[in-house]
Structure 1
């Protein structure tokens, strides 16, 4: 019996009929809201506003370069966030109290400060120091902000993943003569990272979406390019709608990847049932005989 059956009674005929009615009413309400919005924005949604998107120049000069900039910032931020997250996560699990305290302060600070504030601070730090200029400073500001915030989130994932493991894993490592640091690196972290992979992939969606904040520090990502397109053709509603659809498609692909990865890991971690056949042969779950 499933946990759901233990906690809740299955809906009866009247409840199922009520749920169907509520679902139909909800769908009709949403359809009415969409129809009302389309009617109010009919002048902004006429064919003349969509025509620029059949021109290849719109894609080669605006949308595709913006998408490339978005993916570039997201890819760099993912790599740096993983490195920073693992370092801070291991630091929070270190045996030395000073390392644990310092890592904890950094994690809590970076989680508390808004991502946009860190982007703006890093951007102006690069500009005023003269280290970087132009789009390089904007890209660096986006990457720094995303790295610090998402690195802190990943550090918490690492810490919680290790703490979720059975205590016997740590005891077994210490029993065979490993130090606490060796036990963490050799036994606990590999298991925790495998368990965290779906959550880490899901965090990629957050990184990708937050690259749009680079718009405010003049980074020419997809949102910034869409605004430039709208300024030239006067179709801001349609331009932002198309940019939103692109974001949705990419995020949907990442979410699908996360779900498939989670299913694959569940299959890999599932055990095989052994059946003893006549004559002493051992049959695995796929009926492959093996000699005892």
Structure 2
């Protein structure tokens, strides 16, 4: 039996895959036990190391400011990157050659520059010309770097999503006499957004995690605050475990929200049920029953 993507494995291949899977799981369990035992033997998992997290002072002084910084930078960067990405993505699909070339150059340049370099450059540029108050310089640098890089990536996602639609969509719009802008705004983009949503969510998660790079320009975010807690209380492992759990929780919440939004969009784009269409036809054409 042949699948679309690969040949179905035979009995020997299935047995080999099972053996490899079992061995891999056993090795991972062994590594986890060894690492856990070494941490426990060095006292990193003692109850005393976790007690600081039961005090409100640690959360209000270290953890919550880091959470606030991460969520603020991520939220603003995601909104700005989506706007920039859709503008550049549609621009790359434009029928006007200068606009298409300009957007292509911007996308390729910002995709090629590492996020950290853009953060550092924006930070010192804003500081040099006093664009923002000093307490907001790090936040502005992080948002600028994340917006430019992820906006360029989202532009490619938009371009690929629109190009993946059936050609008949644009041809039908041309037959109706719609201009390119009307076709893109009313037909192509609404359909492409639903299919692009899982990839966009993945990119939003990347934005959230990349806020941790901002510690290089003294930005207060979750991972940096976790290392500060570990340095202050001598509990690096528990501190980083707590920060990791917080990051996982935020990412899961973002993914769950996007999943619900995707389902809602798909449901709203469904057409009427066949029985309803049939009922309308029967009411509008009395001769339909006879046929």
Same fold (TM over 0.5): yes
1:39 pairs with 2:37: yes
Mean Cα deviation higher: 117-126 or 42-51 = 42-51
Secondary structure at the aligned position of 1:165 is classed as coil
Matched, 1:93 2:93: yes
Could you tell me whether the CA contact under 8 Å between 1:73 and 1:142 is conserved in 2? yes
CA distance in 1, matches of 2:224, 2:4: 50
8 Å contact from structure 2 (residues 194, 262) kept in 1: no
Q: Is the 8 A contact 1:126 1:133 kept in 2?
A: no
Q: Residues 46-83 of structure 1, C-alpha deviation per residue, up to 9 Å, x if partnerless?
A: 22222211112111221122111111111001110111
Q: Report the secondary structure of 1:4's partner residue.
A: coil
TM-score, normalised via structure 2 length:
0.86
Equivalent residue number for residue 239 of structure 1: 239
Distance between the aligned counterparts of 1:197 and 1:56, measured in 2?
Answer: 38
CA RMSD of aligned residues (A): 2.6
> Paired residue for 2:20?
22
How far off is 1:233 after superposition? Answer: 0.7
Change in CA separation of 1:272 and 1:11 when aligned onto 2, cut-off 3 Å? farther
CA pair 110-239 structure 1, distance change in 2 beyond 3 A: same
Rounded to whole Å, the distance in 1 between the matches of 2:4 and 2:217 is 52
How far apart in 2 are the matches of 1:5 and 1:160?
Answer: 23
Question: How high is the TM-score relative to the length of structure 1?
Answer: 0.86
Give me the whole-angstrom Cα distance separating, in 2, the residues matched to 1:183 and 1:270. 20
Aligned length: 280
- Offset at 1:92? 0.7
User: Does the CA contact (< 8 Å) of 1:95 and 1:181 recur in 2?
Assistant: no
Moved over 6 A (4+): 270-273, 288-291
Once the two structures are superposed, residues 201-234 of structure 1 have per-residue CA deviations (whole angstroms, 9 ceiling, x without a partner) of 2221011001111111111111121122122111
The equivalent of 1:112 in structure 2 is 112
> Hey, what's the Cα distance between the residues in 2 that align with 1:161 and 1:232?
48
Match of 1:82, SS state, is helix
Aligned to 1:76: 76
Correspondence 1:168 to 2:168: yes
Call closer, same or farther: CA 1:35–1:140 in 2, change over 3 Å. same
Deviates more, 1:79-88 or 1:36-45: 36-45
Q: CA contact under 8 A between 1:66 and 1:222: conserved in structure 2?
A: yes
SS of residue matched to 2:3: helix
User: Structure 1: 5+ residue runs without aligned partners?
Assistant: 275-281
1:172 is displaced (CA, Å) by 1.7
CA contact (8 A) 1:202 1:258 kept: no
Structure 1 distance, partners of 2:28, 2:189, is 46
- Of the structure 1 ranges 256-265 and 196-205, higher mean CA displacement relative to structure 2 is found in 256-265
Secondary structure class of the residue paired with 1:188: helix
* Greater mean alpha carbon deviation, residues 248-257 or residues 205-214: 248-257
Residues 6 and 85 from structure 1, CA distance in 2 versus in 1: closer, same or farther, beyond 3 angstroms?
closer
Partners of 2:240 and 2:5 in 1: how far apart? 47
2:195 is the alignment partner of 1:186: no
Matches within 5 A, 1:240-279: 240-262=240-262, 274=274
Gaps of 5+ in 2: 283-291
Instruction: Note the alpha carbon deviations across 1:108-161, whole angstroms, 9 max, x for none.
Output: 111110011101110111112122243301110010011001111111111111
